[in-house]
Amino acid sequence: MHEVSLVESVLDLIEDSARREGFSKVKKVVLEIGQLANVEPEAMVFCFDVVTRGSLAEGAQLEMFPSPGLAWCTTCHNSVEIASRDMHCPLCGGYALQVTGGTDMRVKAIVVED
């Protein structure tokens, strides 16, 4: 389950920000997760609750929203949204797609208490 290491990385980022910015409690963490990032939302919630126990993010709300998978079709020369890497181009039906987005996860916001 790679979600554990993802949440550990998010917590590291939060702790670094807390040292830099001087906050001591996190109320909410907002993540943008790409459609093609192979992240299970339910596993992220579970791992977030477990990994953040005893930390400044314990009890924080985890909000996640998806970003679309994007690809460039080398057949019809269009950028298209895709839901999985094995899809065909929704415009021309070709399979010559190069993934260009939707493979990553970003921390979009951290809501804190002073």
Summarize pLDDT for 40-91 with one digit per residue, the tens. Answer: 999 999 999 999 999 999 999 999 999 999 999 999 999 999 999 999 999 9
Tell me the two tokens of residue 68. Answer: 């679309």
Query: Into how many domains does the chain fold?
Result: 1
Considering the entire predicted model, what is its pTM? 0.87
Q: Kindly state the percentage of the chain with pLDDT values over 70.
A: 99
Amino acid (one-letter) located at 55: S
Q: pLDDT-derived band of residue 114, with 50, 70 and 90 as boundaries?
A: confident
Whole-number pLDDT of residue 2: 86
80: β partners: 71
**How far is Cα 29 from Cα 57, in angstroms, rounded to an integer?**
8
Q: Kindly state the percentage of the chain with pLDDT values over 90.
A: 96
In 3D space, the residue among 73, 65, 69, 3 whose CA is nearest the CA of residue 28 turns out to be 65
Whole-number pLDDT of residue 1: 55
DSSP for 2-19, please give it: THHHHHHHHHHHHHHHHH
CATH of the domain at 79: 3.30.2320.80
